[in-house]
């Protein structure tokens, strides 16, 4: 069936109108009319080819909400008229131990991302939510509660889960003091979640003009990262730091702000590890080496890596 969309024709070109054939739903699929789709920074990274080769035209969008229009005969959880969402993935092997434990995002065989992956059902490139119609297996469609405004709910499907997951995983709660580094799309979600979990929340930002917004989202205070005085005052303060900066940047290496129990840092060089939902823990054990224990959650296997300490 014909879908209307916005697609990027090349890495250096802006979005443009594009029509394509969306595959018909199989017996296990849900078809939905897309009402809203968030704009995620990953859309921009992919469209610009920052993460490797992309097949163009690329239709981004993985914060998708809409209303079900058709379901396959084997679908049991959804019916036409239901309000639903589709997030970052639309298929996986369903058989590996990661999939069986509900971690399809870390499928050992292949997670099929909502766009710029290969759809195992028809072999075409997946196309995201900057389009009028979506088709996805029932297992990758989520119910959207009536109480949620559809437009506001869309960013929960990527930025939301990306920040909710580490805060929950590390049990941020009443009594925790949390620093949210960066106040963009993810950072503002991080502030709201951490606050909702009962934590004391500070935003660490290089932009003084974001202080007002930070407080309006519920932050208890703001630390300006370029201010030595601010950074000194934050030394040893935090139990948990959530780093939402989308690119590699230079940490203030001598700041005691990083003496925390838990840190969630995502340097791009670690993406292949993190994408498998592995856990990295590190400590400086000698002058020039950090020993890092890597624990793969599915199998609970532990691998010790040695990483040159100066490698940033």
For residues 15-44, one letter each, b for 16 or more C-beta atoms within 10 angstroms of the residue's C-beta and e for the rest, the string is beebebebbebeebbbbbebbbbbbbbbbe
* Residue 111 CB-half CA count within 13 A: 19
Question: Is residue 91 a contact residue for Zn ion (CB under 5 A)?
Answer: no
φ/ψ (deg, to 5) at 204:
-110, 115
Instruction: Kindly state the DSSP code that residue 123 receives in the 8-state scheme.
Output: S
User: Per CB under 5 A, does 99 bind Zn ion?
Assistant: yes
Residue with tokens 């030595």: 228
Cis peptide before 57 (omega within 30 of 0): yes
Task: By CB under 5 A, name the one of 5, 46, 91, 92 that touches Zn ion.
Answer: 92
Q: Is 191 in the site for Zn ion (CB under 5 A)?
A: no
93 binds Zn ion (CB under 5 A): yes
Binding of Zn ion by 42 (CB under 5 A): yes
State how far the Cα of 170 lies from the Cα of 279, in Å rounded to an integer.
12
| Cα 207 from Cα 227, distance rounded (Å) | 11
Measured from the CB atom, the residue of 115 and 238 that comes closer to Zn ion is 115
Part in contact with Zn ion (CB under 5 A); list of ranges 98-106, 132-140, 172-180, 182-190: 98-106
Question: How would you classify the pairing of strands 240-243 and 177-181?
Answer: parallel
CB nearer Zn ion, residue 42 or residue 244 = 42
**Cα gap 96→104, rounded to integer Å:** 9
Please report whether residue 47 would count as binding Zn ion according to CB under 5 A.
Answer: no
By the rule CB under 5 A, 90 interacts with Zn ion: no
Q: Which stretch binds Zn ion (CB under 5 A): 51-59, 86-94, 205-213, 290-298?
A: 86-94
CA angle (2, 57, 140) in 5-degree steps: 65
Please give the Cα distance from 143 to 139 (Å, whole number).
11
Site for Zn ion in 105-144 (CB under 5 A): 107, 109
- Which residues, numbered 11-40, are part of the site for Zn ion (CB under 5 A)? 40
Least distance in Å: CB of 260 to Zn ion? 26
Query: For residue 295, what are its two tokens?
Result: 């624990």
Decide: is 189 part of the binding site for Zn ion (CB under 5 A). Answer: no
Of positions 34, 54, 154, 158, contacts Zn ion by CB under 5 A: 158
Nearer to Zn ion, 121 or 199 (CB): 121
Decide if residue 161 touches Zn ion (CB under 5 A). no
| Interaction site with Zn ion (CB under 5 A) | 40, 42, 92-93, 96, 99, 107, 109, 158
């Amino acid at each position: 069936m014909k879908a209307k969309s916005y697609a990027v024709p090349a890495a250096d070109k802006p979005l443009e109108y594009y029509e394509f054939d969306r595959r018909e739903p199989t017996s296990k699929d849900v078809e939905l009319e897309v009402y809203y789709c968030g704009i995620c920074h990953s859309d921009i990274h992919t469209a610009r080819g920052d993460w490797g080769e992309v097949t163009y035209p690329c239709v981004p969008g993985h914060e998708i909400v809409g209303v079900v229009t058709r379901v396959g005969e084997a679908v049991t959880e959804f019916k036409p008229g239901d309000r639903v969402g589709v997030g970052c993935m639309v298929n996986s092997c369903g058989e590996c131990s990661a999939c069986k434990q509900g971690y399809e995002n870390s499928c050992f065989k292949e997670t099929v991302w909502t766009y710029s992956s290969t759809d195992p059902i028809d072999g075409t490139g997946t196309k995201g939510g900057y389009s009028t119609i979506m088709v996805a297996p029932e297992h990758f469609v989520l119910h959207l509660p009536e109480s949620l405004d559809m437009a506001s709910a869309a960013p929960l499907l990527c930025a939301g889960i990306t920040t909710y997951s580490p805060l929950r995983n590390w049990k941020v709660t009443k009594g925790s003091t949390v620093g949210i580094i960066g106040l963009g799309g993810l950072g503002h979600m991080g502030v709201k979640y951490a606050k909702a979990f009962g934590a004391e929340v500070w935003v660490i930002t290089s932009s003084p003009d974001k202080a007002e917004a930070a407080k309006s989202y519920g932050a208890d205070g703001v630390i300006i990262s370029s201010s030595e005085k601010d950074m000194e005052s934050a030394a040893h303060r935090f139990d948990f730091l959530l780093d939402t900066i989308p690119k590699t940047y230079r940490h203030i290496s001598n700041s005691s702000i990083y003496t925390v129990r838990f840190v969630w840092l995502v340097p791009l060089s670690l993406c292949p590890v993190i994408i498998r939902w592995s856990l990295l823990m590190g400590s400086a054990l000698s002058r020039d080496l950090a020993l890092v224990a890597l624990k793969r959650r599915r199998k609970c296997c532990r691998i010790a890596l040695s990483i040159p300490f100066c490698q940033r």
